[in-house]
Every structure is written in structure tokens, then in C-alpha cells.
Amino acid sequence: MNIVVLVKQVPDSSMDRSLRSDDNTVDRGSASNVINEMDEYAIEEALRVKEAHGGEVTVLTMGPSQATESIRKALQLGADKAVHVLDDALAGSCAVATSRVLAAALGQLNPDLVLCGAESTDGRVQVMPHMLAERLGIAALTGARKLTVDGSTLTVERQTEEGYEVVTASTPAIVSVWDTINQVRLASFKGIMAAKKKPVQTLSLADLGVPAEEVGTAGATSEVVSHRRRPPRSVGQRITDDGTGGVRLVEFLAAEKFV
């Protein structure tokens, strides 16, 4: 099975993140950059499908040159090769334009199965799998907490607000996963060494046949007008329980009309 995993490099969500003051885009220098956490589960799931059914795992990322760090990590975990869509004109791309570029790249890779994280920790927009499915005319099985592959039939348990849905489709399809789907492995020493020899192909917009003026800031379908830091919450009241903590908590709730 030809499997492609979409990987996004994001600012580390455990650190202080910000937008740039000049153009309102994500400041990639303010926090260290890491693989989007949910994508690690997609990589793991891809490796498991490959181990059970055979095939090849390709990592696909779009991002600035430092995204090679995230590609390297995915290769160390066991992906076979990588494709990096890299072009200065991509800076500031909106989701609609990003989906156009990724769809063009996927069109060249011709996968049976595309795996990705259910959301990124920076934008948390959750739209990419369905945007890509829409463009490619393939199925999207999103928000999976379980994936079963039986020949060319994919079945997922999709997490919902009320419980879950069982959803099925034939390949080719795109599946997005939550962190409940598996336990991710750590890179082995052997994997780290092997990654150095794995091929990484770089594709430009010209390689993909996507006009530069239709992506990036120039081609964006939405814009950030302004941003500001949210003022910190005012410091509240804090007590140490002296045996009446529960009563005083309820007194607070009553004063705020919750009780």
C-alpha cells in the first residue's frame, strides 16, 4: 500500500507562542518548532499499516526550510522517504491555498492511503482532510480513534461529541487520527542512522504547476487584520483550607449566583 503521511511543523505548544508584529503570521522564531503532535500518531499508524500490509510510507510536508527537522524525525521513526514542498511564495498561505498545493503534491504521489493528524496545535482548524478529499475526489474518514484495513476497504471509528461513528470507504482515501488511536514509538538508534540515507525530494510551486500568485499572502482568501496579547486574568482570591474550604467555595459560588 502506498501511504502518504501529512506532517506539519508547528511552534511547540508547551512554549509561549506569538504572531509576528509586521505581518500577523505565526512567529516561527519565538518558540522551538516541532512536528505537530497529532501527526506523530499519523506516522505511527502509517508504520503499523505498512508493517501489517506491506507498502511504502512517504512523508509530505509544506513549510519553510527548517521543516526539514520534522521530516528528519519522521524518517527516523521509520518512514521510507519524504517530499518537502518548499517555496518562498508559500509564506502566509491560507487553508484554501494550502489544500490546493498539497492536493497537487498528492496528485503526483498517487497514494492509496493518506494519513494526517486530526488537527494542528497552532491553527486547530481541522479542515485540511476534507479540503483535500474535496479536491481529489476521494473519501475522507476523519477524527479516527481506530483504523482497520482489510484489502482496499478502510473502516474507522470516528470520535464524535456523543460517542462514535463507524465509517467505511474504499481506497484511495484520507484518514485523520486522534492521539487515542495508538501509542507512538520512539526512534531507535538504527532508525536514526538509517534516516540519514533516506531520500528527501524538494518540490517547488513550479514543479507542482501551481501559480505563485494564487498562494501565500498574495493569494490568501482571508487575512488577519490585527492581533494583541490577551490581557492576563486578574488575580483572584485564594484561600488555604482550614476545614471550611468547601463551605467558602460554595459561598463564592453563591455570591456569583451559580448556586
Partner 1 sequence: MAEVLVVVEATRELGVKKVTLELLTLARQLGSPSAVVLGGPGAADRLGAQLGEYGAEKIYAAEHEDIDGYLVAPKATVLADLVRRVQPAAVLLASSQEGKEIAGRLAVKLDNGLLTDVSELAPDGTATQVVFAGSTIVTSRVTRGLPLVTVRSNSVTPAPAPATPTVERLDVVLGEADKLARVLDRVAEQKGSRPELTEASVVVSGGRGVGSADNFKLVEELADLLGGAVGASRAAVDSGFYPHQYQVGQTGKTVSPQLYIALGISGAIQHRAGMQTSKTIVAVNKDPEAPIFELADFGVVGDLFKVVPQAVEEIRKRR
**Residue 125 or 206: which CB sits closer to partner 1?**
125
DSSP codes of every residue in 1-41: -EEEEE--EEE-TTS---B-TTT--B-TTSS-EEE-HHHHH
Q: For the CB of residue 105, give the shortest distance to partner 1 in the complex, in Å.
A: 16
Contact status, residue 105 vs residue 61, Cβ threshold 8 Å: no
**Residue 15 or 193: which CB sits closer to partner 1?**
15
242: helix, strand or coil? coil
Residue count, binding to partner 1 (CB under 8 A): 87
Measured CA to CA, the distance from residue 145 to residue 158 in angstroms comes to 6
Q: What is the H or E stretch that residue 51 is in?
A: helix 37-53
Out of 51, 69, 165, 213, the residue judged to bind partner 1 by CB under 8 A = 165
Q: For the CB of residue 26, give the shortest distance to partner 1 in the complex, in Å.
A: 9
Out of 8, 73, 158, 198, the residue judged to bind partner 1 by CB under 8 A = 158
**Residue 78 or 117: which CB sits closer to partner 1?**
117
Residues in contact with 148: Cβ distance below 8 Å, sequence separation at least 6, in sequence order: 154, 155, 156
Cis bond upstream, residue 211 (ω within 30):
no
Give phi and psi for 131, each to the nearest 5.
-65, -45
Out of 64, 68, 109, 164, the residue judged to bind partner 1 by CB under 8 A = 164
Q: For the CB of residue 190, give the shortest distance to partner 1 in the complex, in Å.
A: 28
Q: Is 167 in the site for partner 1 (CB under 8 A)?
A: yes
Q: Identify residues 84-143 at the interface with partner 1 (CB under 8 A).
A: 94-96, 99, 121-131, 133-135, 137-143
Out of 178, 195, 203, 205, the residue judged to bind partner 1 by CB under 8 A = 178
Q: Identify residues 206-245 at the interface with partner 1 (CB under 8 A).
A: 220-230, 232-233, 235-241, 243-245
Q: For the CB of residue 149, give the shortest distance to partner 1 in the complex, in Å.
A: 15
Q: How many CB atoms lie within 10 A of CB 164?
A: 14
Q: For the CB of residue 169, give the shortest distance to partner 1 in the complex, in Å.
A: 5
Residues in contact with 44: Cβ distance below 8 Å, sequence separation at least 6, in sequence order: 77, 181, 182, 183, 184, 185
Q: Identify residues 27-86 at the interface with partner 1 (CB under 8 A).
A: 37-38
